[in-house]
Structure 1
Amino acid sequence: MDTTNTSLSLSTDKVAVKVIDKAKLDQKTQRMLAREISNMDAVAHPNIIRLFEVVETLSRIHLVLEFAPGGELFNRITAEGRLPENDSAKVFTQVLSAVTYLHGLSIIHRDIKAENVFLAGPGQVKLGDFGFSTRVNDLQQQLSTFCGSPPYAAPELYKDESYVGPAVDIWALGVLLFFVLTADMPFKANTVAGLKRHILAGAFITPEHVSPAASDLIARLLVQDPNERPGTDTIAVHTWLSTAPAQPTPLPTYVLAPTFSTEDSSDVEIEAVSTLQKWGISQQSLEDGLSLGARSPSLATYRILLHRLMTQPNSPSKSSNNNSTDTITSSKPASSASTPSKDSSPRRRLPRLPKNGHATNAGYGGVKSRACIIV
């Protein structure tokens, strides 16, 4: 699959557009794409990239997504080095909040990594890329699809056995935390086979500059036995996170679709519907689009407008849901480039696996920095 990320202006709003070549989709990748759309269409959280609309033509599928002007957390750290512990705690708390929310909906992300965490604004990050996500009947359901990014993959993914989804996400959170604090990876090798040996051995060294509390949390997350890894609620009360900002609360359900009830609707929802009616989009048009979800142009316009209203400086929804307003130290100014997940400035690159092991792949169509694990 050829994919392109671009940004465009809808009035004064920028969005990111993921373009997918339908000719390169087989049955398996079609199912993966359908899951990605379904899972993203079901979530509303301040630390998760929003899906606004799905536009399908004869040859391509376009996913219209929330634009994160700061690009990837990976690029930020490889360019400028590790984050101070206070900033690392802010970032980790937000990603943890997103994962807690997803697991509450029985959604397993399965591709948590710095490349999929985006800098959305001053002090705010968002988790994106749901290409490998899946929804389970219960959180103890055994899964058997082995995919993800090799450096972030839990040891059970390298074994010839099924696995439980939440524990895989928890391990990846541990690798992410190590990377944010050190600008390095806990397990490294030049080949996937070598990486597999290191991960199964489970030995890693945390640099001395990392505080004892942060080191303790990393060690608890990177436990070989998935049954011994803590759940998200336990992680949230760890000592190291005690000074971090409170976890953001999920956005109210009205962000997904209007209710058209003045008694049940919030002020921002009423304002959004009223504005759309002034633009010539009727209530009937919005109601007709409810069954289509992200494939409805009217509902997509509602979602983008609502997102704008909720992120305005004086928005009551913003003040009640976004608790991370401080700027991440040394973060670069937002790029004006049209590609939100690229950073064109010179930067120091961390060692990467060969293309057949990490940088390219697989997933459902060769999205850069995603790879299916070959065991």
Structure 2
Amino acid sequence: MADLTDIGCCSCFSFLRKPRASVPQPRDADGTFSEELLKRQSAEDPDESFYTGDDPDLSLYNGDNLDGSFFNGDDPDRCLYDEDGNDYLDGSDDGPPRKSSEDIIQSRAQNGFACREIPVKETNKVFRSEDENGNKMVNQYVHLGKIGSGSYGKVVLYRNVEDGKLYAVKVLNKPYMMKVRVVRSETAMTDVLREVSIMKMLNHPNIVNLVEVINDPNIDKFYMVLEYVEGKMVCDNGLEEATARNYLRDIIYGLMYLHSHNVIHGDIKPDNLLVTSSGNVKIGDFSVSQVFEDEDDMLWRSPGTPVFTAPECCQGSAYHGRASDTWAVGVTLYCMMSGHYPFLGDTLQETYDKIANDPVQIPGDMNPQLADLIQRLLCKDPGDRITLQAAAEHPWVVGDKGPMPEYICRCGFGRRERNDFRE
């Protein structure tokens, strides 16, 4: 592989800067990085290698993980310590101080910006019992079985005996999460509480809805009750153009709502895009998301998953969250159409090098309008990258569906003048 200093165009975008510390890289027996190590762990978790909250002393790294994550259950390239205990690409302690997510959201509510008409239910007492069939129950929820693994915990299917509906519940172990450090000043529990704070304010048809939080101070478990969405986006063999267009419109629609509310998702990828029985896409997993007080969306902490990481995030310095989310949308669209990643090397560093330097390979038989959109989304320079609004108006996205309607949130925050909120 050529040295980066031999590639002249790199310097234009500052990709020559080396990471502050080497990435902790679990390797195969021959010392090479398996391609599978750069992908997310299967949601089915057949070997139960994902941390399920039952063993607080479980080691932070499971060598069998198939996603390149550096502790059990977390998304790849999130946490990230080298062998000397130094943070890699986290930057949380190096950036300027910011208000906490809860403070920002509370401030918005005090100023009349409330997305949700019905607030998230908060329960501080857990009652364990069994139904008439011997199934375990937590409060009014009947345990039906594990359905997958999310960041930091297992996801379990429950049925609410009061309304008869199914719910996906994240079950998390509080003592364990308070011991796991994701950056110097934050634990895994910090991430979860931030995720809850952000989801409490969200209300959009293309965003997974948080229904209830159960946090009993007398027990070790923390429960996030989420709406149950039947399927997950599967792109292994590529999708038909019409299907990909419908999915992309939903993704853009939901992400534009987030960005208009100064929320950066941070981990857009097929695994976090759930498909309803009617074919609509909902964005889920806000475990690495950030909310900002104003339009300043600079981030220091590393993004979610290596193969969906934007070029500007590979250099280890601050980057704009909205532009990096937009890049991840481009990678997702490429995966939807081709069934594989646009940039993937044999090692984590080689993957980052490809993201930063290699042109995207467009199949010769691809629809020219679609090819143009992908190239604009996967533009290396974030300043020249197409915006989500422009992507929504792109001819391929519009297609025969017509322009994407504007979503009018009841809070009005996304339509405010910038100085209104500051006042």
Structure 2 equivalent of residue 65 of structure 1: 226
1:44–1:251 Cα contact (<8 Å) kept: no
Amino acid corresponding to residue 59 of structure 1 in structure 2: D
Change in Cα spacing, 1:122 to 1:67, as seen in structure 2 (3 Å) is: same
In structure 2, what is the equivalent of residue 77 of structure 1?
Answer: 235
1:9 pairs, out of 138, 159, 167, with 159
Unaligned runs of 5+ in 2: 1-50, 53-152, 179-185, 412-423
User: Which residue is 2:198 aligned to?
Assistant: 39
Aligned 8 A contact 1:112 1:173 in 2: yes
Offset at residue 248 of structure 1 (A): 6.1
- Aligned partner of 1:22 among 150, 160, 174: 174
Aligned to 2:377: 221
TM-aligned CA distance change 1:120 to 1:248, over 3 Å: farther
SS in 2 for 1:121: coil
CA gap 1:252/1:205 in 2 versus in 1, 3 angstroms: closer
Describe the shift of the 1:147–1:227 C-alpha distance in structure 2 as closer, same or farther (beyond 3 A): same
More displaced 10-residue stretch of structure 1: 86-95 or 199-208: 199-208
For 1:41-60, what per-residue CA distance to the aligned partner results, in whole angstroms no more than 9, with x for missing partners?
Answer: 11111111000011113111
CA distance in 2 between partners of 1:225 and 1:139 (Å): 20
Of 341, 347, 353, which residue of structure 2 is paired with 1:197? 353
Decide which of 348, 355, 363 is 1:207's aligned counterpart.
Answer: 363
Mapped to 1, the partners of 2:387 and 2:301 lie a distance apart of 22
What secondary structure does 1:101 align onto?
helix
- 2:343 maps to which of 182, 187, 207: 187
The one-letter code of the counterpart of 1:13 is K
Q: Which runs of 4+ in 1 moved over 3 A?
A: 244-254
Provide the C-alpha distance between the structure 1 equivalents of 2:361 and 2:409, rounded to a whole number of angstroms.
42
2:43 corresponds to = none
Retained in 2: the 8 A contact 1:52–1:64? Answer: yes
Question: Per the alignment, in what secondary structure is the counterpart of residue 178 of structure 1?
Answer: helix
Paired with 1:208 and 1:65, the residues of 2 have a C-alpha distance of 42
What is the rounded CA distance, in whole Å, between the counterparts of 1:247 and 1:6 in structure 2? Answer: 35
**Residue identity (%):** 29
Unaligned regions of 5+ residues in structure 1, if any? 255-375
- 1:168-317 paired onto structure 2 within 5 Å: 168-243=324-399, 245=401, 247=404, 250=407, 253=410
Structure-2 separation of matches of 1:66 and 1:250:
21
| Contact 2:288/2:303 (8 A) holds in 1 | yes
* Post-superposition offset of 1:197: 1.0
1:111 and 1:149 in contact (8 A); partners too: yes
Matching of residues 22-171 of structure 1 within 5 Å: 22-26=174-178, 27-57=186-216, 58-70=219-231, 72-73=232-233, 76-78=234-236, 81-171=237-327
SS of residue matched to 1:129: coil
- The amino acid of 2:310's aligned partner reads A
- Sort the Cα spacing of 1:66 and 1:54 in 2 relative to 1 into closer, same or farther, 3 A: same
Residues 16 and 64, structure 1, Cα contact 8 Å, conserved in 2: yes
Which structure: greater helix fraction?
1
RMSD in angstroms over aligned alpha carbons? Answer: 1.7
Deviations 1:16-47 (CA, angstroms, capped at 9, x unpaired): 00111112223422221111001111111111
SS at match of 1:8: strand
TM-score, normalization: structure 1?
0.63
1:138 is displaced (CA, Å) by 2.7
Deviates more, 1:6-15 or 1:99-108: 6-15
Give the match's secondary structure for 1:228. Answer: coil
Letter paired with 2:235: I
Is the Cα–Cα contact under 8 Å of residues 343 and 351 in structure 2 kept in the other structure? Answer: yes
What code does the residue aligned with 1:226 have?
P
- Indicate if the aligned counterparts of 1:86 and 1:244 stay in contact, CA closer than 8 A: no
* CA distance in 2: counterparts of 1:84 and 1:238, whole angstroms: 18
Q: How does 1:341-352 map to 2 (within 5 A)?
A: none
On the 8 A contact 1:150/1:195 being kept in 2, the answer is: yes
Q: State the 1:216 CA deviation.
A: 0.4
Aligned residue identity for 2:220: S
Aligned partners of 1:165 and 1:224: how far apart in 2? 15
Distance in 2, matches of 1:172 and 1:131, equals 16
Counterparts in 2 of 1:147 and 1:127: CA distance versus 1, 3 Å: same
May I ask how many residue pairs the two structures share in their alignment?
249
TM-score normalized by the length of structure 2: 0.56
Q: Give distance in 1, aligned partners of 2:280 and 2:406.
A: 14
CA deviation after TM superposition for structure 1 residue 213, in Å: 0.5
Shift of 1:102: 0.2
Q: Tell me the SS of whatever aligns to 2:317.
A: coil
Query: Given that residues 45 and 249 in structure 1 are in contact (C-alpha distance below 8 angstroms), is that contact kept between their aligned partners in structure 2?
Result: no
Shift of 1:137: 2.4
- For residues 89 and 244 of structure 1, the distance between their equivalents in structure 2, rounded to whole angstroms, comes to 10
